[in-house]
């Protein structure tokens, strides 16, 4: 199904866990792109991708979103962009918050500026559950990235549409705890978790890619797309891994919460839920279309907001051990 026939797409952060998986999915689905550009600062991963995928449609660009000239060169003649470049390790961003600002906020701003200049049709910016009620530098920087993206969508030239996708923990990706726990089991070390009752969304990479492709195909300017995702607490996760690796009653060590960690993650606040609509798989948030010409004082509120609840990793559908085993097994095969 060649719905993007002869179009060109740029994946910024294209050598990361999401970026590479997206390139492979685009090739597999045969969506009709004539060129797939991979932009990143990691020349080693680019070389690995070039050898592994060996496809003439893929073009590699070395650069950094912090450098507007390098991203400008990569966006010329491009129709669509996925912005997946980010600093996303929570502890790293806590200790080096300015670096998170430079990449996650200013880097996205640079990309949107050159996308508008080069008449790109649509940009999809990837965000995270940590952007809702942020308590750490990574989440704060992503929340600001979202604000910049939506602001640009309303102020741009009208030719470039901007959408945001927001999703939670991608299982077995670079930012997930699952690879660490598996490594500990293989080394014979106790599994370390922060809080047994801490919950996280459990989303596969395929689900994350489907969300972004859905936004690319269906997104209107300024919309934010949120995946409806199942959740699990950490003790259920450890039990599922014990079953997968045949390690009954394997030792688990509780180490306490790390810098900037929440007990539960939130994908959508109750205020956002008020301005959303949904289908079977996704929530879609509409942008706030007000400008600075609003009333000095509110004359009318919204009583309905008080009856709504946040959409969190603790109140979404919870996976039991059996369901989690099934889901993890798929990504390990």
Q: Which residues partner with 254 through β-bridges? A: 193
Scan for tokens 């699952």, then name that residue.
178
Residues 10-48 as b or e (16 or more Cβ within 10 Å = b): bbbbbbbbbbbbbbbbbeeeebebebbbbbbbeeebbee
Classify residue 222 as left (phi > 0), alpha (psi -120 to 50) or beta. Answer: left
Q: What torsion, rounded to 10 degrees, do the Cα atoms 95, 180, 315, 139 define?
A: 20
130 is catalytic: yes
Q: Which of 8, 88, 122, 130 is catalytic?
A: 130
Sign of CA dihedral 95, 179, 167, 38: positive
CB 208 within 8 A of CB 18: yes
CA 192 to chain centre: 25
CA pair distance 210, 57, nearest whole angstrom: 21
* Torsion angles phi and psi, residue 81, rounded to 5: -135, 135
Residues 91-104 as b or e (16 or more Cβ within 10 Å = b): eebbeebeebbbbb
Which amino acids are annotated catalytic? 130
């Amino acid at each position: 199904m060649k719905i993007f026939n002869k179009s060109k797409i740029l994946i910024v952060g294209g050598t990361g866990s999401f970026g590479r998986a997206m390139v492979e999915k685009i090739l597999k689905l045969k969506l009709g792109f004539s060129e797939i550009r991979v932009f990143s600062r990691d020349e080693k991963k680019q070389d690995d991708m070039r050898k592994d995928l060996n496809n003439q449609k893929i073009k590699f660009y070395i650069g950094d979103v912090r450098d507007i000239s390098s991203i400008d060169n990569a966006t010329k003649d491009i129709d669509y962009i996925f912005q997946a470049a980010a600093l996303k390790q929570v502890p790293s961003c806590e200790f080096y918050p300015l670096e998170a600002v430079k990449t996650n906020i200013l880097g996205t701003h640079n990309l949107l500026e050159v996308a508008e200049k080069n008449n790109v049709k649509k940009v999809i910016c990837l965000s995270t559950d940590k952007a809702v009620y942020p308590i750490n530098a990574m989440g704060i920087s992503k929340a600001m990235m979202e604000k910049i993206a939506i602001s640009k969508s309303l102020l741009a030239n009208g030719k470039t549409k901007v959408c945001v996708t927001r999703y939670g923990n991608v299982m077995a990706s670079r930012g997930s705890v699952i690879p660490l726990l598996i490594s500990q089991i293989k080394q014979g070390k106790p599994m370390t978790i922060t809080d047994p009752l801490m919950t996280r969304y459990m989303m596969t990479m395929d689900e994350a890619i489907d969300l972004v492709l859905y936004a690319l195909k269906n997104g209107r300017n300024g919309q934010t797309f949120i995946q409806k995702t199942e959740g699990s607490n950490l003790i259920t996760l450890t039990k599922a891994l014990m079953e997968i690796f045949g390690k009954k009653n394997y030792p688990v060590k509780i180490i306490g919460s790390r810098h900037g960690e929440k007990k539960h993650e939130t994908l959508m606040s109750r205020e956002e839920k008020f301005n959303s609509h949904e289908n079977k798989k996704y929530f879609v948030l509409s942008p706030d279309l007000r400008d600075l010409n609003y009333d000095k004082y509110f004359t009318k509120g919204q009583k309905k907001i008080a009856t709504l609840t946040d959409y969190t990793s603790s109140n979404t559908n919870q996976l039991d051990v059996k369901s989690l085993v099934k889901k993890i097994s798929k990504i390990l095969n």
